[in-house]
Amino acid sequence: MIIVLIGYMASGKTSIGKRLAAKLNYTFIDLDDLIEEKENASVTEVFKNKGEVYFRKKETEYLKEVLAMSGNIILSVGGGAPCYSNNMQDILDAENAKSIYLKATIPTLAEKLMRKKAKRPLIAHIETEEAMAEFIGKHLFERSPFYSQAEIKVSIDYKTKDEIAEDVLSVLF
């Protein structure tokens, strides 16, 4: 089975994915890491040097590659991945895949992203938690129709990473 974790930046897709992979003895794949490996450049460099259209095409190509794999995989996709091309439909149509939306409220995401913004070029310029909440709100308004198609939704608010991983396991098995 391929368990596909989707959600906004800082929702825990990578950290929860790694925990789940360890608990289940599954292979963990972070789609952004795979893109970096295959393109021999960071996601930031790909965006800067080849543009977003190129990045999104590659993201779709590598997503399809992973969805076609056999074996037990936890796949963490970038926050925008479900919203481009036909990616969310491809995830839903994959016979051996289960999609999970790690869902968080805007205040939770704003608080987390204010702590991590230096590592994220897209949001590094945002100065206040209020401005961050507004930025996230606009993004979530656009992305929610895609995220909400996930087969399973797990709230991450006020939970530790281990609690979230346990919640995911309880709804899966």
| Residue 32 assigned to a binding site | yes
Could you tell me the residue ranges of all domains in the chain?
2-167
What's the pLDDT score for residue 173?
86
Q: Is 137 annotated as a binding residue?
A: no
pLDDT at position 103: 98
15 assigned to a ligand binding site: yes
Q: pTM for the full model?
A: 0.95
56 belongs to an annotated ligand binding site = yes
The pLDDT profile of the chain, 173 residues, written as one tens digit per residue, is 999 999 999 999 999 999 999 999 999 999 999 999 999 999 889 988 998 899 999 999 999 999 999 999 999 999 999 999 999 999 999 999 999 999 999 999 999 999 987 777 778 889 999 999 999 999 999 999 999 999 999 999 999 999 999 999 999 98
Q: Does 11 belong to an annotated binding site?
A: yes
Q: How many CB atoms lie within 10 A of CB 118?
A: 8
User: What is the distance between the alpha carbons of residues 127 and 95, in angstroms, rounded to a whole number?
Assistant: 43
Q: C-alpha angle with apex 166: 141 to 82, nearest 5 degrees?
A: 30
Report how far residue 134's alpha carbon sits from residue 130's, in angstroms, rounded to the nearest whole number: 6
Is 115 labeled as ligand-binding?
no
DSSP 142-172: HHHHHHTTSSEEEE-TT--HHHHHHHHHHHH
> Tell me, what's the pLDDT at 117?
79
H or E element that contains 6: strand 2-6
2-167: CATH topology: Rossmann fold (3.40.50)
Q: Is 155 annotated as a binding residue?
A: no
pLDDT confidence of residue 44: 86
Contact in structure between 100 and 169 (CB atoms under 8 Å): no
Instruction: Compute the distance between CA of residue 6 and CA of residue 153 in angstroms, rounded to an integer.
Output: 10
**79 belongs to an annotated ligand binding site:** yes
pLDDT per position as a tens digit, 122-134: 788 899 999 999 9
